[in-house]
Amino acid sequence: MKKKNIFLRIFSFYYEGFRSMTVGRTLWAIILIKLFVMFVILKIFFFPNFLKSNFDNDEDRSKHVIEQLTNPK
């Protein structure tokens, strides 16, 4: 019998693996919800990168940090 293409074999390995999961389905649901909450809600709305969002380039970021280090207020 002719062997399946390697990519098809890998795909079917994962596909069958996911299909035959029991507790894994619940876990994947938790993982996906968690990743959504972390990357879509928390990261965007609560955790913008302070230096990237307040300064345009690395030079300005450096100046800001030096100011913070030498003249903290």
Partner 1 sequence: MTETFDYSLIDWSRGQFALTAMYHWIFVPLTLGLGFIMAIMETIYVRTGNPEWKRITKFWMTIFGINFAIGVATGIILEFEFGTNWSNYSWFVGDIFGAPLAIEGIMAFFIESTFIAVMFFGWNKVSKKFHLISTWLVAFGASLSALWILVANAWMQMPVGMKFNPDTARNEMAHFWDVLFSPMAVSKFTHTISSSYMLAALVVIGISSWFLLKKRHLVFAKRSIVVAAVFGLVTSLFTILTGDYSAKVIARHQPMKFAAFEGLYVGQRGAPLVAIGVVSSTPEDPNNENIKDFVFKLEIPNFLSYMAFQDFNAFIPGVKDLMEGNEEHGIPSAAEKITRGKLAIDALAEYKTAKEAGDEVKLTEAKEILDQNFQYFGYGYFVDDPSRLVPNVPLTFYSFHLMVALGMWFLVFFAIVLLLVYKGKISRSKFWLTIGIVNIPLAYIASQSGWVTAEMGRQPWVIQDLMPTMTAVSRLDTNAVITTFILFAVIFTTLLIAELRIMFKQIKLGPKQEGGH
Residues that bind partner 1 (CB under 8 A): 13-14, 16-18, 20, 23-24, 26-28, 30-31, 34-35, 37-38, 42-43, 46-52, 58, 61-63, 65-66, 68-73
Encoded amino acid at 51, one letter: L
Phi, psi of 50 (to 5 degrees): -55, -50
| Least spacing, CB of residue 8 vs partner 1, in Å | 14
Place of tokens 């972390």: 38
| Least spacing, CB of residue 1 vs partner 1, in Å | 17
Looking at the Cβ atoms of 8 and 18, the one nearer to partner 1 is: 18
Cα 22 to Cα 10: distance, rounded to the nearest angstrom = 21
